[in-house]
Structure 1
Amino acid sequence: MDVNQLIHIVIVLVVVGVLLGLINRFIPMASSIKSIINGIVVIFVVLWLLQLFGIIGAIGGMRVR
């Protein structure tokens, strides 16, 4: 992984964090809904990072039977 890819990852993480912070601060909703949204975003970011670093395979290839 080269420096450009790492910079891209950091930029994506900062943008996601800023957007999540703006949503939490300026959009009025119940705290339980905010917690659910925060949890979902964190799960997706962690899965994206795990897939990016090759720890898990392609998520699109999974099938539910």
Structure 2
Amino acid sequence: MPLINLVIVLIVVGVLLWLVNTYIPMDRKIKNILNIVVVIVVVIWLLQVFGVLGSMDSIRIG
């Protein structure tokens, strides 16, 4: 994945998370959980993009 695509995806995710946190009324605890989940997903995705994590195709849920 080219670096410019990576930066664009991170900017879009950040802006969407900011919009949700700013304009959607939610309890503070729910916002914190949402922020933590998004950060964890983005970190796992970045680790996979850079090859630190192996392919996640072999992981099955359920």
TM above 0.5 = yes
What's the % identity of the aligned pairs? 55
Partner residue, 2:19: 22
Q: Residue in 2 aligned with 1:12?
A: 9
- What does residue 41 of structure 1 align with? 38
Aligned residues: 62
Q: One-letter code of the match for 1:52?
A: V
Deviation at 1:63, TM superposition (A): 3.7
Q: Partner amino acid for 2:31?
A: K
Which residue among 42, 52, 59 is the counterpart of 2:56? 59
Extract unaligned runs of 5+ from structure 2.
Answer: none
Instruction: Give the Cα–Cα distance (whole angstroms) in 1 for the partners of residues 16 and 60 of structure 2.
Output: 31
Say which is worse superposed, 12-21 or 54-63, in terms of deviation: 54-63
Describe the shift of the 1:64–1:20 C-alpha distance in structure 2 as closer, same or farther (beyond 3 A): closer
TM superposition score normalised by structure 1:
0.87
- Structure 1 segments, 4+ long, off by >4 Å, are none
Which stretch shows the higher mean deviation, 10-19 or 53-62?
Answer: 53-62
TM-fit CA distance, 1:31? 0.4
> Higher relative contact order by CA 8 Å / sep ≥ 6: 1 or 2?
2
Segments of structure 1 that go 5 or more residues without pairing to the other structure are none
